[in-house]
């Protein structure tokens, strides 16, 4: 990557690295921080939990729309200016979300919050690369990748704590403090580093088709489980609309002189393969992020706080290993680092697949700790490989499109994972019941506890079966996750390795 400005040094470099990586952290954090707070928000605003989920859906749709548009926006107005305006808008609309007194206002402000959050993700990466020396670019990506990995873990923990101890509005108000740090830090570090502005025609048709595709697809994913997927005419219609609009969008963009989304980055083999592996991996990883706390709270009896503590160890080795991965990338075959990372993920998921309802806290936390050593090796290396063959003027577009596909993969992964998990609960429950003489079991339970009536013994037996069914469904998910991660890992052999740097 050609340096547009001299690399920063000393305190300015440290501050710039903190500001830009922190910008990525708070935006990624906001994709998960509201999830656990939906019941609280819905109850406070007097709506059902089903209606409350639109708070998540609208943000995800809006963010997914502007992430891939970042390259085009940056050419029109400059990367630093777009980043700064996005952060300011994010703070303003976060504040308005907290002040909302009705679901309608909250949804409107969440849309604008998502629209302003989108460009922050890819721009935090490209601007971070621009302030580091060229030979230290892997360190920059290591810092950025570490924040992307850690943020989804802390989101549910922070959201649950705020919901339990404060008013839900503080989920949004904390962005004011974070945002002010970003705004003044960005002005101080990047005020004289604006990129070249190239005005082009606005691709209105491409923008319209992108909005239609993302909106229909995200609604289909978010509402699919609730409406029994393609048994619903509504979901089927969303699927048809999203497919047609996607096909038309791709055809249109490939034939435009000034497309709103630069699809030419897909000509790079490294960008295409690394994006596929990254998207697949994040789909599985995010399914784990979603299912793990649900299993811990529903079956293992953990509180929201303790389930958060149980999954938090992922951040320990993620933080420790990220800079190590950054230093190793230019020294050894980068494909080996990816394969190592995928192998670690497979081991961690396999350990989870062997757990049972008697699992201790440590047997839950240890696989999570190990998982943290694998994610940075995959994400940081694949991100570096993805941009390694792109031209300097394609970096922002490539990063934006890669992040867009990663976000969409996370949405697909979370939706399909939870659907599969819930389906396997029902399947396992039926199989367990068919394998039991439950009338005999109920009599045995009554015999062991004389206080039990037939009804209470039946309830106790039913709960036992349900716990085992959920546990088996969790094992099934992690077994499938293990197999998928191994299969995705083989794609790394088709990548071109980064050039080694001789010390």
Mean pLDDT, residues 395-415 taken together: 80
How many angstroms from the chain centroid is the CA of residue 102?
27
Domain topology for 1-201: Growth Hormone; Chain: A; (1.20.1250)
For residue 137 the two structure tokens come to 């670019």
Q: Band of the pLDDT at 448, cuts 50, 70, 90? A: low
pLDDT at site 501: 46
Q: Band of the pLDDT at 340, cuts 50, 70, 90? A: very high
The interaxial angle of helices 79-99 and 120-131, nearest 10 deg, is: 140
Residue 475 reports pLDDT greater than 70 = yes
Top pLDDT among 242 and 149 is at 242
Rounded percentage of the chain residues whose pLDDT exceeds 90: 18
Would you say 466 and 429 are in contact if contact means Cβ atoms under 8 Å apart? yes
pLDDT at site 479: 95
Would you say 123 and 1 are in contact if contact means Cβ atoms under 8 Å apart? no
DSSP string, 100-162: --SHHHHHHHHHHHHHHHTTHHHHHHHHHHHHS-GGGHHHHHHHHHHHHHHHHHHHHHHHHHH
Residue 451 reports pLDDT greater than 70 = no
Top pLDDT among 40 and 481 is at 481
Mean pLDDT, residues 386-404 taken together: 78
pLDDT at site 503: 42
pLDDT at site 230: 85
What mean pLDDT is reported for the chain? 83
Residue 1 reports pLDDT greater than 60 = no
Rounded-to-integer distance, Cα 41 and Cα 58, Å: 15
For residue 439 the two structure tokens come to 């009338």
Q: Which residue has the tokens 């094992």?
A: 475
pLDDT at site 319: 78
For residue 347 the two structure tokens come to 């081991």
**pTM for this entry:** 0.78
Q: Do domains 1-201 and 283-502 have the same CATH topology?
A: yes
- Report the range out of 1-5, 173-177, 294-298, 376-380 with the highest average pLDDT: 173-177
Residue 178 reports pLDDT greater than 50 = yes
pLDDT at site 440: 67
Residue 301 reports pLDDT greater than 60 = yes
Mean pLDDT, residues 246-272 taken together: 86
Task: Using alpha carbons, list the distances in angstroms from residue 499 to 3, 89, 215, 410, 502.
Answer: 18, 40, 40, 30, 9
Would you say 242 and 217 are in contact if contact means Cβ atoms under 8 Å apart? yes
Q: Band of the pLDDT at 4, cuts 50, 70, 90? A: low
Residue 478 reports pLDDT greater than 50 = yes
Domain boundaries along the sequence of the chain: 1-201, 203-259, 283-502
pLDDT at site 500: 55
Burial (CB < 10 A; 0-12, 13-18, 19+), residue 501, is exposed
Which of 125-134, 166-175, 298-307, 359-368 bottoms out in mean pLDDT, i.e. has the lowest?
Answer: 298-307
What digits encode the pLDDT tens for the residues 419-428?
Answer: 888 888 888 8
Q: Band of the pLDDT at 90, cuts 50, 70, 90? A: very high
Rounded-to-integer distance, Cα 73 and Cα 394, Å: 13
Rounded percentage of the chain residues whose pLDDT exceeds 70: 92
CATH 3.30.450.20 for the 283-502 domain, yes or no: no
Rounded-to-integer distance, Cα 31 and Cα 309, Å: 19
């Amino acid at each position: 990557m050609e340096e547009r400005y001299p690399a920063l040094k000393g305190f300015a470099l440290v501050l710039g690295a903190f500001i830009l990586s922190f910008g990525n952290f708070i935006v990624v954090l906001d994709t998960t921080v509201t999830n656990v707070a939906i019941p609280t928000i819905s109850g406070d605003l007097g709506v059902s939990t089903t209606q409350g989920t639109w708070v998540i859906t609208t943000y995800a749709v809006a963010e997914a729309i502007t992430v891939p548009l970042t390259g085009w926006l940056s050419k029109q107005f400059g990367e630093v200016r777009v980043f700064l305006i996005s952060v300011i808008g994010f703070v303003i609309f976060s504040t308005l979300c907290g002040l909302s007194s009705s679901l309608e206002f909250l949804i409107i402000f969440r849309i604008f919050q998502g629209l302003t959050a989108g460009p922050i993700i890819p721009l935090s990466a490209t601007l971070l690369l621009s302030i580091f020396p060229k030979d230290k670019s892997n360190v920059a990506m290591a810092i950025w990748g570490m924040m992307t990995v850690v943020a989804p873990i802390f989101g549910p923990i922070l959201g649950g704590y705020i919901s339990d101890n404060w008013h839900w509005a503080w989920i949004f108000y904390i962005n004011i403090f974070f945002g002010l740090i970003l705004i003044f830090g960005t002005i101080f570090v990047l005020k004289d580093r604006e990129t070249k502005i190239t005005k082009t025609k606005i691709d209105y048709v491409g923008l319209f088709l992108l909005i239609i595709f993302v909106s229909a697809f995200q609604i289909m994913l978010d509402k699919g489980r609730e409406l029994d997927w393609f048994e619903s005419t509504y979901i089927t219609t969303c699927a048809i609309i999203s497919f047609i609009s996607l096909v038309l969008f791709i055809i249109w963009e490939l034939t435009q002189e000034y497309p709103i989304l630069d699809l030419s980055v897909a000509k790079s083999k490294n960008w295409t393969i690394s994006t596929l592996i990254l998207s697949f991996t994040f789909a599985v990883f995010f399914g784990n992020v979603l299912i793990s706390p649900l299993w811990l709270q529903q079956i293992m009896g953990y509180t929201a706080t303790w389930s958060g503590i149980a999954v938090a160890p992922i951040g320990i080795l993620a933080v420790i290993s990220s800079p190590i991965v950054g230093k190793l990338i230019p020294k050894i075959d980068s494909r080996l680092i990816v394969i190592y990372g995928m192998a670690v993920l497979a081991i961690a998921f396999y350990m989870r697949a062997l757990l049972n309802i008697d699992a201790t806290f440590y047997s839950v936390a240890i696989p999570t700790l190990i998982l943290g050593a694998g994610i940075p090796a995959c994400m940081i290396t694949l991100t570096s490989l993805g941009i390694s063959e792109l031209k300097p003027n394609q970096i922002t577009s490539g990063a934006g499109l890669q992040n867009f596909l990663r976000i969409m993969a996370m949405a697909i992964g979370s939706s399909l994972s939870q659907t599969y998990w819930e389906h396997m609960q029902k399947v396992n429950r039926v199989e367990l019941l068919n394998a039991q003489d439950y009338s005999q079991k109920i009599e045995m339970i009554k015999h062991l506890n004389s206080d039990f009536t037939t009804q209470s013994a039946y309830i106790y037996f039913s709960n036992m079966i349900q716990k085992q069914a959920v546990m088996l469904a969790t094992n099934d998910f992690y077994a499938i996750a293990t197999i998928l991660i191994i299969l995705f890992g083989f794609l790394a052999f088709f990548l071109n390795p980064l050039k080694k740097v001789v010390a």
